[in-house]
């Protein structure tokens, strides 16, 4: 049987901590969305099941850092990258996301980056 490459990148059959964290974060996000849909549809039992699964997945994740810690890291990236205008957002996000991988959610990084860049 031939296996196709994973959508999670070039893991080449290896499972490392970074891959586990990425998959767990994605699955937590799916559960959060499903909980909202189930509650809106009045399916409380299904929502509770999703919450229980989400808590198990969250136990696999490292503790998230505070918004202040994210801001400190993004400020350092901005000082290093020296972005100019709105195009700089992408450069800052790329560097900040790499620096904060596994410790902060991309949406939180983007929120702080937008605020610091004034966009």
Please give the pLDDT value at position 5. Answer: 47
- pTM to 2 decimal places: 0.58
Spatial distance between the Cα atoms of 42 and 60, rounded to a whole number of angstroms: 29
Question: What is the domain range of residue 74?
Answer: 67-117
Query: Is the confidence at residue 36, as pLDDT, over 90?
Result: yes
Q: What is the CATH number of the domain that holds 109?
A: 1.10.10
Query: Is the confidence at residue 20, as pLDDT, over 90?
Result: no
Residue 108, C-beta contacts closer than 8 angstroms, at least 6 positions apart: 64, 67, 70
Q: Is residue 89 part of a domain?
A: yes
Number of independent structural domains in the chain: 2
Please give the pLDDT value at position 3. Answer: 47
Please give the pLDDT value at position 111. Answer: 93
- At 7, the pLDDT band (50, 70, 90 cuts) reads low
């Amino acid at each position: 049987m031939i296996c196709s490459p994973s959508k999670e990148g070039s893991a080449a059959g290896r499972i490392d901590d970074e891959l586990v964290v990425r998959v767990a974060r994605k699955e937590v996000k799916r559960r959060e969305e499903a909980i909202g849909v189930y509650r809106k549809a009045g399916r409380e039992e299904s929502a509770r099941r999703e919450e229980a699964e989400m808590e198990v997945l969250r136990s696999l994740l490292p503790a998230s850092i505070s918004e202040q810690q994210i801001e400190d890291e993004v400020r350092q990236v901005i000082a290093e990258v020296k972005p100019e205008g709105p195009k700089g957002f992408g450069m800052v996000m790329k560097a900040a996301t790499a620096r904060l991988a596994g410790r902060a959610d991309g949406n939180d990084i983007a929120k702080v980056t937008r605020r610091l860049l004034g966009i």
